[in-house]
Amino acid sequence: MFSLFKQELAIDLGTANTLIIQDGKVVVDEPSIVAIDRRTGQTIAVGKRAMMMHEKTHENVKTVRPLKDGVIADFQAAESMIKGFINMLGTRRRFFTHLKMVVCIPSGITEVEKRAVFESADHVDSKETYLIHEPMAAALGIGLDVEEPVGHMVIDIGGGTTEIAVIALSGIVCDQSIRIAGDELTSDIINYMKREHNLLIGERTAEQIKIHVGSALPKLDNPPEDFPVNGRDMMTGIPKQTVVSYSEIAHALDKSIAKIEDAILKALEQTPPELASDIYRTGLYLTGGGALLRGLDKRIGAKTKLPVHVAEDPLRAVVRGTGIALKNTERFTFLIDRRSV
């Protein structure tokens, strides 16, 4: 009777996207954003529906991205977002449902924030909650054997942060986190359009440019077609359209990508020699939405002279790994439970 009402969830709480796996399937894949009524403080929408309101709100509605730069910037909003997503699952929650969750958290999170995540889990009635650090979940999701005595370097380029970690023997040996990732690339594009085309665009348009013609290299073997961009002309104030090419965007993103490269080089320098020799063989693994940027693998490969692998379906690697952790809570010693914070 008891097990009939068992519900198990793996949650990747990302700065840009939140994903949930239930019974081995991705059941939620939504942007991490909530829309709140300013007068009542009530949440009106979460995920895609809230994203549609983003940058189009009037004074009574605000949209909030509860996670910023790899940390939880707004606890209350984060909690109502998690609640909203769990409600989307549509399963009838019963009094005696045994809810078990593994939540993937950014590795820069503090002890206080960890406790807050446990508390949020309590508020959705979770009976058994574990946390997992993002680089570990990413490594599991890529399919690496994290328990063996072999080092692997995983680079997760998300919305707020790029996390570079070396993993071996069920632990994170070294970990670098920089606040240059997808959001920064998006704002590079906004600034570029302003500077070079006198065109004002919003975040969502810049994100579309990044996805359609984003590139880490000014010359690609399979170039995407030029992309039409609508915005407001800064001179006339009137809406207008401009066409941009991938080489232009490569130029716009160059400085930020160089910073990511520098962080990777620094992480390699700090890797203990025996693990460095493993990484020389195994190469670098890219995950997170940023791994989809055209030419990025090639550029990082040229810079480090190491083999670079892009994870299959990189936007979902972390939640896949969190799902694997959910199935192995007895075995994986690196999971954080309530007693350890």
Contacts with Mg ion, residue ranges (CB under 5 A): 14, 158, 318
**Closest CB to ligand ADP among residues 100, 210:** 210
Cα distance between residue 84 and residue 98, in whole Å = 19
Instruction: Tell me the CA distances in angstroms from 306 to 81, 197, 281, 286, one per residue in order.
Output: 40, 37, 8, 12
Among positive and negative, which fits the CA dihedral 255, 258, 263, 264?
Answer: positive
Rounded to 5°, angle at Cα 107 from 165 and 118: 150
| The binder of ligand ADP chosen from 7, 11, 17, 30 (CB under 6 A) | 17
Site string for ligand ADP, 311-340 (x = CB under 6 A): ----x-------------------------
DSSP state of 206: H
> Any contact of residue 66 with ligand ADP (CB under 6 A)?
no
Under DSSP, is residue 133 helix (H, G, I), strand (E, B) or coil? strand
Cα distance between residue 261 and residue 252, in whole Å = 16
> Any contact of residue 26 with ligand ADP (CB under 6 A)?
no
172's contact among ligand ADP, Mg ion, none, with CB below 5 to 8 A by partner kind, is: none
Rounded to a whole number of angstroms, the distance between the first and last alpha carbons of the chain is 33
Name the nearest CA neighbour of 102 among 142, 137, 152: 137
Q: Under rule CB under 6 A, which residues in 139-158 are in contact with ligand ADP? A: 158
DSSP state of 92: P
> Any contact of residue 292 with ligand ADP (CB under 6 A)?
yes
16's contact among ligand ADP, Mg ion, none, with CB below 5 to 8 A by partner kind, is: ligand ADP
| The binder of ligand ADP chosen from 66, 84, 151, 159 (CB under 6 A) | 159
- Report the amino acid identity of residue 149: P
User: What is the phi/psi pair of residue 114, to 5°?
Assistant: -60, -45
17's contact among ligand ADP, Mg ion, none, with CB below 5 to 8 A by partner kind, is: ligand ADP
> Any contact of residue 249 with ligand ADP (CB under 6 A)?
no
> Any contact of residue 184 with ligand ADP (CB under 6 A)?
no
**Closest CB to ligand ADP among residues 99, 217:** 217
Shortest distance (Å) from residue 320 CB to ligand ADP: 12
- Residue ranges in contact with ligand ADP by CB under 6 A: 14-17, 158-160, 182-183, 207, 210-211, 214, 288-290, 292-293, 315
